[in-house]
Amino acid sequence: MRFPGVDFIDTESMLNEEQRMVRDTVREFVDDLVMPIIEECHRDCRTPLELVPKMGELNLFGATIDGYGLPGLDNVSYGLIMQELERADSGLRSFVSVQSSLVMYPIWAFGSDAQKERWLPAMGAGEAIGCFGLTEPDFGSNPGGMRTTARRDGDEWVLNGSKQWITNGTLADVAVVWAQTEDGVRGFLVEKGTPGFTSSDQHGKFSLRASTTSELGFQDCRIPADAMLPKTVGLKNALMCLNQARYGIAWGGIGSAMATYHCALEYSKERIQFNGQPIACHQLVQDKLVWMISEITKGQLLAFQLGQMKDAGKIKPQHISLGKRNNVWVARECAKLAREILGANGIVDDYPVIRHMLNIESVYTYEGTHDIHALVIGQSVTGIPAFNAPQESVKKPKAAAVAQEAR
């Protein structure tokens, strides 16, 4: 059965023909090829690699990049791809987010012509897989403290350190690795099989089981001088990649919420209790469904507006933080309410709800936790950074700068 979508106020009318076509293509792919296998992948803790060539054929990787055989779609279309994929599973959306926003984007934005030629067509076709190594065991929310180093030695860079929680780490043909150099943080491309570079999977995950999460190790790992992304000048470049991925997650959250809402609505119309009537006839059940559809609708409008702003070049990191934070929170709350409506059936994977509920815990934490995004938005509206606790480090905001930011 085709997923009918969730659209209370005709947001469909805001989309142009190309955007609808992209959405419908991905929806069909998800219904036909992803839904039949995703529960099994989640149970088996397995990334559905068999879908990668088809996703390449459908141009789902690097979709906003123009050239190199890539489609150069607008940002609303990109968002709709993320929405439809996450309607199936956050892990699948993660796979495409990392490939597109965290690996192809930095190669396109900060790479040399040779690096672009080498990786972008292959990654677009799904013939090469990438991963993004920023987080370290002791530096998650605060990547600026990273200990991984890159030291220049003649015609080579020598990498030492480790990265943790890296999506696609053991699957990747190439890793974008962020490391401290004498001149600050720089990005490097490290190829699978390079001596001194190791990767191993992290086990015991109860969330994002259809996605591979890994540790990366670098021990006197020598890479050629031209493996550095030449246009990287600091941590800022890594954070620019996160902007791309976080924007996609703002749409992905809506996809997850659509899935749990739709499941709860259908279930409530069929499940009979007490008076021979479906549970949907009760006001308390309707109140939950109404909360869900209200927040999904607001999230859709927010995501669409962010897409418009991104295409117009007007978006700022704090706007993206608002979208990621709000829409993932909505998805998390919708998963909880849907699980309640399904009763005991809410805890078994015959229904997608418990899988989405578990998955969204990762999404709530990665790409900047819910609270870190509160601090980004808080800094934007007050002018005061609250990331570091000591009071003496809080500078008084300049009145003019605060007023300008608030506008």
Catalytic positions, written as ranges: 367
> Quick check: 309 binds ligand TGC (CB under 6 A)?
no
Copy the structure tokens of residue 396: 């008084």
For the chain, what's the residue count?
407
H or E segment to which residue 63 belongs: none
Considering only 78, 132, 304, 329, the residue that binds ligand FAD (CB under 6 A) is: 132
Question: 372: closest CA among 246, 205, 235, 206?
Answer: 246
Residue pair 46/210 in contact by the 8 Å Cβ criterion: yes
DSSP H helical ranges for 200-274 = 235-270
User: In the bound complex, what is the minimum distance in angstroms from residue 353's beta carbon to ligand FAD?
Assistant: 19
- Residue 383 φ/ψ region, left for φ over 0, alpha for ψ in the -120 to 50 degree band, beta for the rest: left
> Quick check: 112 binds ligand TGC (CB under 6 A)?
no
* Binding partner of 317, given ligand TGC, ligand FAD, none, CB within 5-8 angstroms per partner class: ligand TGC
Q: Which is nearer to ligand FAD, 92 or 285 (CB)?
A: 92
Beta bridge partners of 221: 159
- Based on C-alpha coordinates, what's the Rg of the chain? 22
Half-sphere exposure of 101 (CA within 13 A, CB side): 24
Stretch that binds ligand TGC, among 280-288, 353-361, 364-372, 395-403 (CB under 6 A): 364-372
- Determine the Cα–Cα distance for residues 87 and 81; give it in Å rounded to an integer: 10
User: Which residues, 370 to 399, sit near ligand FAD by CB under 6 A?
Assistant: 371-372, 375, 387
Half-sphere exposure of 401 (CA within 13 A, CB side): 9
- Crossing angle of helices 75-88 and 235-270, in 10° steps, is 50
Q: Which is nearer to ligand TGC, 141 or 297 (CB)?
A: 141
- Determine the Cα–Cα distance for residues 366 and 129; give it in Å rounded to an integer: 20
Stretch that binds ligand FAD, among 53-61, 135-143, 190-198, 272-280 (CB under 6 A): 135-143
> Quick check: 304 binds ligand TGC (CB under 6 A)?
no
> Quick check: 8 binds ligand TGC (CB under 6 A)?
no
Complete DSSP assignment for 154-182: TTEEEEEEEEEEEETTTT-SEEEEEEEET
Residue pair 56/127 in contact by the 8 Å Cβ criterion: yes
Please name the amino acid found at residue 193.
G
> Quick check: 208 binds ligand FAD (CB under 6 A)?
yes
User: Which residues, 136 to 155, sit near ligand FAD by CB under 6 A?
Assistant: 140-141
Considering only 2, 387, 394, 401, the residue that binds ligand TGC (CB under 6 A) is: 387
> Quick check: 238 binds ligand FAD (CB under 6 A)?
no
For the chain, the straight-line distance linking the first and the last C-alpha, in angstroms and rounded, comes to: 46
By Cβ distance, which residue is nearest to ligand TGC? 144
Stretch that binds ligand TGC, among 34-42, 116-124, 236-244, 268-276 (CB under 6 A): 236-244
Q: Which is nearer to ligand TGC, 172 or 285 (CB)?
A: 172
Place of tokens 């142009």: 16
Residue pair 282/289 in contact by the 8 Å Cβ criterion: no
User: In the bound complex, what is the minimum distance in angstroms from residue 239's beta carbon to ligand TGC?
Assistant: 4
Q: Which is nearer to ligand TGC, 67 or 234 (CB)?
A: 234
> Quick check: 143 binds ligand TGC (CB under 6 A)?
yes
- Determine the Cα–Cα distance for residues 352 and 36; give it in Å rounded to an integer: 12
User: In the bound complex, what is the minimum distance in angstroms from residue 111's beta carbon to ligand TGC?
Assistant: 18
By Cβ distance, which residue is nearest to ligand FAD? 140
Query: If binding means CB under 6 A, how many residues of this protein chain bind ligand TGC?
Result: 25
| Positions in the binding site for ligand FAD (CB under 6 A) | 98, 132-135, 140-141, 165-167, 208, 213, 362, 365-366, 369, 371-372, 375, 387
| Positions in the binding site for ligand TGC (CB under 6 A) | 94, 97-98, 132, 134-135, 141, 143-144, 167, 234-236, 239-240, 242-243, 245, 317, 366-368, 372, 376, 387
